[in-house]
Amino acid sequence: MRIARALLWLMLSVIPLTATAAGVQVEGVRMWPAPDHTRLVLDLSQPVDHRLFSLENPDRVVIDLKDSRFPGSLPTMSYDGALIENIRYAHREDNQLRFVLDLKSEVRPKSFVLKPQREYGHRLVIDLHQPQSEQAAPKVTKSVNDGKPRDLIIAIDAGHGGEDPGALGRLGTREKDVVMAVARKLEAMLKREPGFKPFMIRTGDYYLSLRERVEKARRAQADLFISIHADAFHDRRAHGSSVYVVSDGGASSKAARFLAESENSADLIGGVSLEDKEDLLKMVLVDMVQNSTIEDSHRVASEVLGSLKHVNHLHKRHVEQAGFRVLKAPDVPSILVETAFISNPAEERKLRSSAHQTELAKSMFYGVKRYFARHAPAGTLLATRKARRHEISRGDTLTGIAARYRVSVSAIKQHNNLSDNLLRVGQVIQIPVI
């Protein structure tokens, strides 16, 4: 009997060792292709020790995971636009799990682990970047060609993306999808407007760090940076649109501080390696923001806020300030537009509407137009076509003024942010250039 008990105890003591010999479970595999890199994410049951190395002829990247298993199967993936041609995996001796990435060309691989954040657990992130020489240079530049007037470059940043869905509504609406839809509509409007050239910071469903977004706008030599969001608040009654600029001090309200902290945490969710984090913190902590840039940001933010009030209730009737990292470009006027609270059931339904998305984009478009009509930089096409000024005299009507200058009444109202047809003697309005 004693021998039997001893054997039973020995068997029970061995079972946990066998069960934990491959203690890390790979619970999922996701891929996010971007124009200049591809990101592969492994969802893990717990942290993992891993080794990353490259092989040539043909080009491959190998990831070895220690004490790991992949009980599932690889999802069906489209490799269009990705640097990866195929993904393979195999369980090896000593409970090793190996993933092999067959590549379309040579890459610079980098890996890092992420701790649990919100809906995500432990993750292993593998970023594959093209060699520097193969990366395409920005197609947009504001250098003057042959002395001809240039277009204004408007950088449009659709917040979040890829691993980071942003805020989630009760109906399952993802912030990253809504803001991309609004950004695309704004891009289309600017493309049709003479004197403007839009530059999309994010062109698909992938994540860019806050630092990368700022750097892309600066490399494109943007005249304005607009970051579009639709955030959430713990109180579902919170509603309305807001426009923010960066603060060189504290936040202008508790809500502004909460939203800034929420947006700034995106790098923890979307995934930024510790190496990048050190440089990012240096950029944030060093006060590089010029006073003139902040003033310009305030002016354009006021114009956009003035347009938004015709589309949605305003959460605050003045431009708010907070320490948004994505607005930290020292030489590019930058604003962040919170189109609505996706956590509010009524506003979530509106954000899902294509017609409402168009109205939101249109309000930003007209706000930007009004700002640059008054503050067009020298050397731009708009600077050569500045709007004319008209002082209201007794008997003037919008219909008569529109006929005189051969523009539409709606164009005058939108350009001057007029909500009705009432005019007062001595009032000065600007006549838009069509």
* pLDDT, one tens digit for every residue, the chain (434 residues): 555 454 444 444 443 433 344 589 999 999 999 888 999 999 999 999 999 999 999 999 999 999 999 998 899 999 998 999 999 999 998 889 999 999 999 999 999 888 887 778 899 999 999 887 455 545 555 555 556 889 999 999 999 898 888 889 999 999 999 999 999 999 999 999 999 999 999 999 998 888 888 889 989 999 999 999 998 888 888 898 988 887 665 444 444 444 445 544 444 444 444 444 344 433 433 333 445 577 888 899 999 999 999 999 888 788 887 655 545 556 788 888 999 999 999 999 999 999 999 999 999 999 999 999 888 888 888 887 766 788 898 888 988 888 887 888 888 888 888 888 889 989 988 887 76
Can you read off the two tokens belonging to residue 189? 């409007």
Nearby residues of 93 by Cβ (< 8 Å), 6 or more positions away: none
Residue labelled with tokens 């990101």: 39
Strands 152-158, 224-229: pairing kind: parallel
User: Cα(89)–Cα(62) distance, rounded to whole angstroms?
Assistant: 10
In Å, what is the CA distance from 369 to each residue of 95, 335, 364, 416?
61, 15, 9, 10
Indicate the helix (H) or strand (E) that contains 332: none
pLDDT for residue 272? 47
Q: What is the pTM of this model?
A: 0.71
Q: Rounded to whole angstroms, what are the CA distances from 210 to 70, 186, 215, 234, 321?
A: 32, 21, 9, 24, 18
Which distant-in-sequence residues (6+ apart) come within 8 Å of 75 by Cβ? 28, 29, 30
Closest Cα partner for 367 from 327, 317, 308? 308
Token pair recorded at residue 215: 């750097």
Q: Six-digit token pair at 61?
A: 């990247």
Distance from C-alpha of 350 to C-alpha of 368, rounded to nearest angstrom: 23
Spatial separation of the C-alpha atoms in residues 386 and 407, rounded to whole Å: 15
Task: Please report the pLDDT score of residue 322 as a whole number.
Answer: 62
128 token code pair: 């594959």
- CA 267 – CA 126 distance, rounded (Å): 15
Report d(CA 27, CA 294) in Å as an integer. Answer: 46
